[in-house]
Chains A and B, each alone.
Chain A
Amino acid sequence: MSLLEVSGLSKHFGGVTAVRDCSLSLEPGSITGLIGPNGSGKTTVFNLITGFIVKDAGEVRFDGRSIGNLGPDRIYGLGIGRTFQLARIFPRLTALENMLVPVRRKGLRGLFSPGQRHDERQRAMDMLSAMDISAVAHLLAGSLSYGQRKLLELAAVMMAQPRLVLLDEPAGGVNPSLVERIGEHIRELNRQGVTFLVVEHNMPFVMNLCGEIVVLHRGTVLAQGSPSDVRANATVLDAYLGS
């Protein structure tokens, strides 16, 4: 059974149709690329899946359960994490505190007990170390470089151990060596069992990383298949380059 099943998803903003009858499914343990020209609806699809905007039609099922009407905080709680197009962190919290916000606790007592529990702190530091940014753990996140913010955002999202993570342009705006490292981190997390859906404009990066590519054009799925299939697909080339 697929982990995420999107069927017939549609969204209009006034007269503009951002997403039209979009269907895709993600197998557990896969890394899928979601590509398409600017304005093709990739980020809108992300926002629909994660509950930031309400769909007009269609169905989103995660692990067999319909999540189309839940809010973003509930959806994160079920195990779908996401990052944002321009890395979003909490600038006036330290990097470590940024890591602790997503940690989930049970019950009211957990809520009003101290915000930094020893075990959670340890886990956060381990994760920061894995991303090679443990040296900045006690700096305010707002003082970090853009690359560090990207790594911090990814690290923080992983704190609640989501099963599916949607990455919005993980390689955008960072230098080539960091692009490499981010790719490595994604592969490593994937080896640990996390499923990824990745929006990305950096074609070599996405073709290299993903086992499956979904091409979105004007809000609908234009093509789907392995990277080599998609690269050879004439309609995809048309959509990107214009015929």
Chain B
Amino acid sequence: MTRLRRKDAAKAIAMVAVVGFALLVPVFATDPATTNIAVFTAMYVGLATSWNIMGGYTGYISLGHAAFFGFGAYALGVMLAHLGIPSGFEPFLFVPVAGILTALLAVGIGWVALRTRAATFVIVTIAMMFMIQLLAENLSGLTGGGAGLSFPVPPWSGDFYNTPFYYAMVVIALLALGVSWLIRRSKFGLGLLAIRDDEDKALAVGVPARAYKLTAFIISAALVGMIGAVYGYYVTYIYPQFAIDPLIGISMVLMVFLGGLGTLWGPVLGAVILEPAQLSFAYTFGASKLYLVFYAAVFLLVILLLPRGIIPSFMDLVARVRRRRAVGPSAPAATASDPHAVAGIQSP
């Protein structure tokens, strides 16, 4: 018990340290180039964590989450423009409204897309994303069409400009993490993991799979929509191919795969590694699409070397080392994929 409590205490301290560090970034990093990286990193921590609630827990890989991201941005932009909301801090108050509108969109998309499974689901989500992009293009009365949509520009100086956006991104990322943690330890989350492992079996033991999947999909989309809304206000000008960018959808997926699919902290780790790397790549080689080569290389390496992501592979390693210490070096290697394995338990 004491070991467990010590582990919990260590976890709590680590949490406080990470959150404290995140909150203090704008204090010790003051130049806009650095805080810009911080804004985007916090953004991707939130996106990857939110995507993981659907993709990681249920195993339904959506490559269309960029639709919710862009929709959230447009939702806020249209609200600001049509309701005549002044710039400053006030637009942030409407970010949750953008999240709710995105949730409503997700009800519709999920209703259709979740009739399919596996590869078909992936394709349907991609198709849905391009449909939303086309709608943004064609509903020009509302969205400005191909000419784009401008947000009111915040009246802040260059040094301060990034700070409110950074904190907005951090707050949503923490919200996403909290929701993700709550779901993972809940009865609902257990049902999602059961669906991931074997959906028909889950149905056979009473898990209402359709309602569960749809709920996870909506929660995931709403969080992504809120992040998109903050992003839109941050960049102050969006157009369809820019806000609903397939590469944003793929980036969050890649980050989750790198860190560890279906784990709580994997998406955070993946985002913290990849996003600064991608931005510094862009700074070094100019605003080219060269970083895509880098992404492709990362994807290949992850699939080849760490197919389950950093955190599960690391946990395996720790468990293996512990086991070896506990029973001596001659002990047979037990199931590597099993972090709970206890040496000495034999099959009857």
Contact = CB atoms under 8 A, between A and B. Distances in A.
A123 B198 CA distance: 24
Interface string A100-115: 1111110000111111
Nearest to B215: A111
A114 B197 CA distance: 20
A112 B206 contact: no
Nearest to A151: B348
A97 interface: yes
B39 to A, nearest CB: 31
Given A90-B201, A138-B340, A139-B340, A113 B193 contact: no
A138 B189 CA distance: 18
Contact of B186 (A82, A104, A111): A111
B190 A97 contact: yes
Interface string B176-203: 0000001101111111011011101111
A90 B198 contact: yes
A112 B338 contact: no
Interface residues of B, number: 33
Interface stretch (A2-10, A68-76, A189-197, A223-231): A68-76
Contact of A160 (B190, B205, B335): B205
Contacts of A103: 187
Given A114-B185, A114-B186, A136 B203 contact: no
B347 interface: yes
Contact of A139 (B190, B205, B345): B345
A94 interface: yes
B207 interface: yes
Interface stretch (A32-40, A142-150, A202-210, A234-242): A142-150
Contacts of A142: 337-338
A84 B206 contact: no
A88 interface: yes
A92 interface: yes
Contact of A147 (B182, B189, B347): B347
Given A73-B207, A104-B206, A143-B338, A90 B197 contact: yes
Contacts of A81: 204-205
Interface in B107-148: none
Contacts of A77: 206
B193 A72 contact: no
A157 interface: yes
B208 A73 contact: yes
B347 A148 contact: yes
Contacts of B191: 101
A134 to B, nearest CB: 11
Contacts of A102: 205-206
A115 B190 contact: yes
A101 B341 contact: no
Given A90-B193, A101-B194, A115 B204 contact: no
A139 B338 contact: yes
B342 interface: yes
Contacts of B189: 115
Nearest to A50: B204
A93 interface: yes
A91 interface: yes
A115 B185 contact: yes
Interface in A128-174: 132-133, 135-136, 138-140, 142-145, 147-148, 156-157, 159-160
Given A93-B194, A133-B348, A140-B335, A111 B340 contact: no
Nearest to B344: A135
A10 to B, nearest CB: 23
B272 interface: no
A100 B188 CA distance: 11
Given A90-B197, A132-B348, A101 B337 contact: no
B279 interface: no
Contacts of B37: none
- Which of B183, B188, B201 gathers the greatest number of chain A CB atoms within 10 Å? B201
Given A90-B194, A114-B185, A76 B348 contact: no
B204 A105 contact: no
Interface in B200-242: 200-209
Contact of A89 (B201, B203, B335): B201
A90 B341 CA distance: 16
The 3 closest A-B pairs by CB, nearest first: A102-B205, A76-B206, A90-B197
28 contacts: A72-B203, A76-B206, A81-B204, A88-B200, A89-B198, A89-B201, A90-B194, A97-B190, A101-B194, A101-B205, A102-B206, A103-B187, A110-B187, A113-B186, A114-B185, A115-B189, A138-B340, A139-B340, A139-B345, A140-B335, A140-B337, A140-B340, A142-B337, A145-B347, A156-B205, A157-B205, A160-B205, A160-B206
Given A100-B190, A110-B187, A140-B340, 8 more contacts: A52-B204, A71-B203, A72-B204, A112-B182, A138-B340, A140-B337, A142-B337, A148-B347
